[in-house]
Amino acid sequence: MTLTIRTVVVLVAVAAAALVVPGTVVGIAVAVLAGLVIADALLARSAPRVTRTLPAVLARGVGVPLAITVQSTGGGAVRVRQPLVPDLALDAREGDGGLTATLTPRRRGRHVLPAVALRARGPLGLGAWQHRAAGEQEVTVFPDLPSARRLALAVRDGRFRDPGVRTRGPVGLGTEFERVRDYLPDDDIRQVNWRATARAGRPMSNQHRVEQDQEIMVVLDVGRLMAAPLGDRTRCDEALDAATALALVADELGDRCGALAFDDEIRRRVRPGRASGTDVIRATFDLEPSERDSDYELAFRTVGGGKRALVVVLTDLLDEAAARALVDAVPVLTRRHAVLVASARDPDIESLVDGEDADLAAAATDLLAARSRAAAAVRGAGAQVLEATPGTLNAACVRAYLYAKSRRRL
């Protein structure tokens, strides 16, 4: 039980009245006030019924609505507060009679949302009682699922294109005719079915069947280099966003997708299978970089056998020395598979090149040159290299995947 501000104000008024009224009257007033406070607090002792509503699936950096509704049993006002852990953020944490706010996860993984804290006051507003309700709730935060789903939907609808680049045919995904559909703004002019257009009185396009049951393997480096920050995220976050997009697009195209995560040992593994995008996401969403160096040869030998596939290695190309182990291990894969090494660039370093500080500009130039030499060494070992800015690596990897299918490299 706790006192309210109203009770304190009344006590101050009684104390001031003691200067002009007899002490007996003041004593009676204090006793009456004490009785009212206890009775009021007892009416607020019963915990209100609380319902907390939150979506089951959350994505890092994407706000979702959180609603807390309260049905008070004591007849008084209820103050609601939602405690948080550092990996979750709320735009409003307290409210009277309930709470409606936006919850934004800052980090992937599993987090515990603490129980709701309540301060229920009695009808007179003199006594209050503290309660905890709704209990702890585990929330699961995935990588950027909305962006990955938008990419998969764009691929399915034939709307995924390189800006400013004309394509030859329907995204290059197969040549076997499937059906005639309405023309889309991004369709190549050679897709237009002129006879169907004349009959229907509106533009119609040919859609070709996608080549299915090909294989893509996503290899995730979760060694110490992947802990490097990129703005408000890490290289590991960028890699997992790309892996999520690739897995969902593979499902849309009917391909077999698998994943392997490693540092100096194999951390997670999902064998390639049809419609395995959800399995890949659930197996990798909570991965965090370790403090260990990555053993590329171990990972590549684990992947090496089996059906020819596109192997997308999501890692960091820091410099020649750091990439030496990667370069030495790439031939293990290139003998059988098409290999793409994908990495996120650091715009903060690139911005220093044209900065006013000459020393920082020189250091940044040297670092970027070392990164370019590392990429050249990887290409020399037989792999393709893809670098993209943060936030675009997922789309760039999907684009490379579609290009590999169009050239029948899988």
Residue 42 has pLDDT above 50, yes or no: yes
pLDDT score at 22: 81
Which residues have C-beta within 8 Å of that of residue 392, sequence separation ≥ 6?
Answer: none
- The pLDDT value given to residue 102: 95
Structural domains of the chain, with CATH? 1-142 (2.60.40.10), 145-151+211-406 (3.40.50.410)
pLDDT over 90 at 227, yes or no: yes
Statement: residue 169 has pLDDT above 50 = no
Can you tell me the distance from the alpha carbon of 364 to that of 350, in angstroms, rounded to the nearest whole number? 7
Q: What pLDDT was estimated at residue 162?
A: 52
Structure confidence at residue 68 (pLDDT): 94
**In the chain, % of residues over pLDDT 90:** 56
Mean pLDDT for the chain overall = 87
Whether 309 shows a pLDDT value over 70: the answer reads: yes
10 sits in which H/E element: helix 5-17
Regarding pTM above 0.85, the answer is no
pLDDT in tens, 311-348: 999 999 888 888 899 999 999 999 999 999 999 999 88
Lowest mean pLDDT among 32-46, 49-63, 107-121, 382-396: 32-46
Least reliable range by pLDDT among 24-28, 181-185, 255-259, 309-313: 24-28
pLDDT of residue 282: 94
pLDDT band at 300 (very low <50, low <70, confident <90, very high): very high
User: What band does 165 get if pLDDT is binned at 50, 70 and 90?
Assistant: very low
Average pLDDT of 56-77? 85
Q: How far is residue 35's CA from residue 14's CA, in Å, rounded to a whole number?
A: 15
Tokens of 191: 């897709």
pLDDT band at 266 (very low <50, low <70, confident <90, very high): very high
pLDDT confidence band for 176 (50 / 70 / 90):
low
Task: With cut-offs at 50, 70 and 90, classify the pLDDT of residue 167.
Answer: very low
Residue 389 contacts residue 231 (beta carbons within 8 Å): no
Q: Sign of the CA dihedral 6, 7, 9, 10?
A: positive
Q: Is the pLDDT of residue 174 over 90?
A: no
207 in Cβ contact with 169 (< 8 Å): no
pLDDT at residue 82 is higher than 80: yes
What is the distance between the alpha carbons of residues 328 and 330, in angstroms, rounded to a whole number? Answer: 6
State residue 21's pLDDT score.
73
Q: Is residue 86 within 8 Å of residue 62, measured between CB atoms?
A: no
CA distance 371 to 357: 21
Nearest to 121 by CA among 134, 130, 112: 130
Enter the tokens of residue 351.
């911005």
Pick the residue with more confidence: 120 or 293?
Answer: 293
Mean pLDDT, rounded, for 81-100 = 91
pLDDT at 64: 93
